[in-house]
Chain A
Amino acid sequence: MTFSRREFLKAGLAGSLAVGTAGLLDACGTGNTIKAFTTSTAGKPRMGGQLRAGLTGGSTADTLSPLNPITNVDFSRINNLYEPLVGLTPGALPVNVLAEELTSNAKATEWTVRVKQGITFHNGRTLTADDVIYTFQQILNPKAPGAAAAGLASIDAKGMTKLDAYTVRIPCSTPFATLHQALAIPGYSDIIPVGFNPAAPAGTGPFKVKSFSPGTQSTFVRYDGYWQSGLPYLDEIVITDYADQTSQVNSLLAGQVDAVNLLSEDVISEVQGESKNVLLSPGGGWNPFTMRVDTGTFSDVRIRQAMRLVVDRQQMLDLVFGGFGTLGNDVFGIWAPEYDHSLPQRHQDIDQAKSLLKAAGAEGLHVTLVTSDIAQGTVLAAQVFAQRASAAGISVSVDDVTVNEFYGTNYLKWQFAQDYWFYNFYLPQVSLATLPTASFNETHWDNSRYDSLYAQAIATTDTSLRTELAHEMQQIEYNEGGYIIPFFPPVIDGFGTNVGGLVPSKIGLSLNAYDFKGVWLS
Chain B
Amino acid sequence: MTTATEAPERVGPPSKAPRPHPIRDLVIKRSLIGILTLVLVSILVFVATQTLPGNAASAVLQNTATPARLHALEVQLGLNRPAVEQYWTWLTGVLHGNFGTSLANGQPVGTLVGGRILNSLVLVVLAGAIGTLIGVGLGVLAAARRDSVFDRILSVASLAVTALPEFVVAVVLVIFFAAVVVHWFPAVSVFVPGTAPWSNPKELVLPVATLVIVVVPYVFRMMRASMIDALESDYVQMARLKGVPKWRQLFVHALPNAIAPTIQVIGLTFLYLAGGVVVVEYMFNYPGLGQALVSAVSDRDIPQIQAIVLVLAAFYIAVNILTDVIALAVSPRRRLPRS
Chain A residues within CB distance 8 Å of chain B? 54, 59-63, 68, 70, 142-145, 147, 149-150, 211, 213-217, 240, 242-244, 246-248, 250-251, 253-256, 274, 374, 401-405, 407-409, 411, 419-421, 439-440
Contacts and interface: CB of A to CB of B under 8 A. Distances in A.
B245 to A, nearest CB: 50
Contacts of B65: 407, 411
A143 B76 CA distance: 10
Contact of B63 (A60, A274, A374, A402): A374
Q: Which of A213, A250, A256, A403 has the most CB of B within 10 A?
A: A250
Nearest to A256: B186
Contacts of A407: 54, 58-59, 61-63, 65
B166 to A, nearest CB: 13
Interface string B62-82: 111110110011001000000
Interface string B279-321: 0001111010001101110111100100000000000000000
Interface string B94-124: 0000000010110100001000000000000
Contacts of A374: 62-63
Contact of A70 (B62, B192, B284, B295): B62
B52 interface: yes
* For the complex of A and B, 10 pairs with smallest distance between CB atoms: A408-B54, A250-B187, A404-B54, A405-B53, A254-B187, A61-B104, A214-B105, A408-B53, A213-B193, A439-B66
Q: Which of A63, A70, A255, A419 has the most CB of B within 10 A?
A: A70
B104 A243 contact: no
Contact of B295 (A59, A247, A439): A59
B300 A404 contact: yes
19 contacts: A60-B299, A60-B304, A61-B104, A145-B66, A147-B69, A149-B69, A211-B194, A214-B104, A215-B292, A240-B285, A243-B291, A244-B282, A246-B171, A247-B188, A247-B283, A247-B284, A402-B298, A404-B54, A420-B63
A342 B132 CA distance: 71
Contact of A411 (B58, B68, B73, B292): B58
Contacts of B188: 54, 242, 247-248, 250-251, 254, 256
B141 interface: no
Contacts of B294: 243
A82 B252 CA distance: 70
Interface of B: 52-55, 58-66, 68-69, 72-73, 76, 102, 104-105, 107, 112, 171, 174, 178-180, 183, 186-188, 190, 192-194, 282-285, 287, 291-292, 294-296, 298-301, 304
Contacts of B68: 142, 145, 149
Contacts of A420: 63
Given A63-B105, A256-B188, A402-B53, A147 B64 contact: yes
**Interface of A (DSSP majority class):** loop
A143 B72 contact: yes
B253 to A, nearest CB: 48
Nearest to B304: A60
Nearest to A218: B193
A421 B62 CA distance: 12
A210 B169 CA distance: 37
Given A250-B174, A274-B180, A61 B58 contact: no
Nearest to B112: A60
Contacts of B60: 61, 70
A244 B188 CA distance: 11
A8 to B, nearest CB: 35
Given A211-B194, A254-B179, A274-B179, 13 more contacts: A54-B188, A60-B292, A60-B304, A144-B76, A145-B69, A147-B69, A248-B285, A251-B186, A253-B179, A256-B188, A256-B190, A402-B53, A409-B53
A62 B102 CA distance: 12
Contacts of B194: 211, 213
A59 B292 CA distance: 9
A217 B192 contact: yes
Nearest to A58: B295
A404 B282 contact: no
A46 B256 CA distance: 66
B167 to A, nearest CB: 9
A209 to B, nearest CB: 13
A144 B300 contact: no
Given A253-B180, A404-B53, A440 B66 contact: yes
Contacts of B73: 144
Contacts of A213: 193-194
Contacts of B285: 240, 242-243, 247-248, 251
B54 A409 contact: yes
B178 A254 contact: yes
A59 B186 contact: no
Nearest to A250: B187
Nearest to A249: B179
Nearest to A148: B64
A251 B174 CA distance: 10
A411 B62 CA distance: 9
Contacts of A402: 53, 298
Given A243-B291, A407-B62, A408-B53, A251 B299 contact: no
A213 B180 CA distance: 31
Contacts of A54: 188, 190
A89 B58 CA distance: 32
Given A250-B179, A407-B62, A62 B193 contact: no
Contacts of B296: 60
Contacts of B301: 60-61
Nearest to B171: A246
Q: Which of A246, A439, A440 has the most CB of B within 10 A?
A: A246
Contacts of B59: 61, 403-404, 407
Given A256-B187, A407-B62, A61 B54 contact: no
B104 A59 contact: yes
B105 to A, nearest CB: 4
A405 B107 CA distance: 25
B105 A255 contact: no
A216 B292 CA distance: 10
Contacts of B192: 217
Nearest to A198: B106
A256 B188 CA distance: 8
